[in-house]
């Protein structure tokens, strides 16, 4: 394989990764049942990277994304600022968040 073939292979692989990520994002958006759950993000990089002066004031906005394709999990909390998954949602948390809508 020459170097141009290699570059083309890499570009195709990158496009495939981006396409997969794009469809995952759309699926997660369609499965989001609450966009603003008041919940503290535990990621040490949240806010700190974009706005270092806010580092000590963590983000409190998460979304609840249902995960219908998973057998053992109902959904997950994901930070609206840094996209980090916080935790799987328990049945009682799910009911509480749905009740708040
Ligand atoms: Zn975060």
**pTM for the model:** 0.76
**77 pLDDT more than 90:** yes
Ligand 1 centroid–CA 64 distance in Å is 14
Average pLDDT, the chain: 88
Ligand 1 centroid–CA 18 distance in Å is 22
Domain ranges for the chain, please list them. Answer: 1-30, 32-101
Any idea which of 3-7, 48-52, 74-78 has the lowest mean pLDDT?
A: 48-52
Ligand 1 centroid–CA 76 distance in Å is 14
Which letter, b or e, does each residue of 60-77 get, where b requires 16 or more Cβ atoms within 10 Å of its Cβ?
Answer: eebbbbbbeeeeeeebbb
Any idea which of 7-16, 52-61, 86-95 has the lowest mean pLDDT?
A: 52-61
Ligand 1 centroid–CA 9 distance in Å is 34
Ligand 1 centroid–CA 60 distance in Å is 8
Residue 9 bridge partners (DSSP): none
């Amino acid at each position: 394989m020459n170097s141009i073939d290699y570059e083309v292979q890499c570009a195709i692989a990158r496009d495939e990764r981006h396409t997969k990520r794009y469809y995952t994002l759309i699926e997660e958006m369609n499965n989001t049942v609450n966009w603003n759950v008041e919940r503290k993000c535990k990621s040490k990089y949240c806010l700190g990277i974009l706005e270092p002066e806010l580092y000590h004031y963590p983000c409190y906005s998460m979304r609840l994304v249902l995960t219908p394709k998973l057998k053992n999990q109902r959904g997950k909390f994901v930070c609206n600022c840094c996209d980090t998954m916080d935790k799987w949602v328990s049945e009682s948390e799910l009911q509480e968040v749905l009740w708040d809508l």
